[in-house]
Amino acid sequence: MANVPLAHYLALAAAMFSVGLAAVLVRRNALVVFMGVELMLNAANLTILAFSRTLGVQEGHVIAFFVIAVAAAEAAIGLAVMIAVFRSRKTINVDEVDALKY
């Protein structure tokens, strides 16, 4: 297997992260915002694993597994919250869910 240089991984991860951040910041649909978050998490995962592999250490893998587990838990809870919000508000547009303010 050809050795992919570290820079490539990092570039890809940066691109994924930026896309995810953009989604979180600009999209109004909570589901899409959520997908953005997932993208950012996986971009971080990719970075960690790339470094881990390059440096030949195992800790990165462990962290990646944790991140995956956390992401799964987050997805479960986040979706549940969204369903609950939709039930009460009939919308999941994040602009309209702004009752928690001064």
List of residues contacting other proteins (CB under 8 A): 21, 24-26, 33, 94-95, 97-102
**Shortest spacing between CB 46 and other proteins, in angstroms:** 19
Whole-angstrom distance, CA of residue 95 vs CA of residue 88: 15
Distance in angstroms (rounded) separating the CA atoms of residues 47 and 93: 31
In whole angstroms, give the CA distance from residue 76 to residue 85. 14
Residue 95 falls in which region: left (phi positive, over 0), alpha (psi -120 to 50) or beta = alpha
Specify the residue, 15 or 62, whose C-beta has the smaller distance to other proteins.
15
Specify the residue, 2 or 100, whose C-beta has the smaller distance to other proteins: 100
The residue to which tokens 């991140």 are assigned:
67
Q: Could you tell me the two tokens for 98?
A: 């702004």
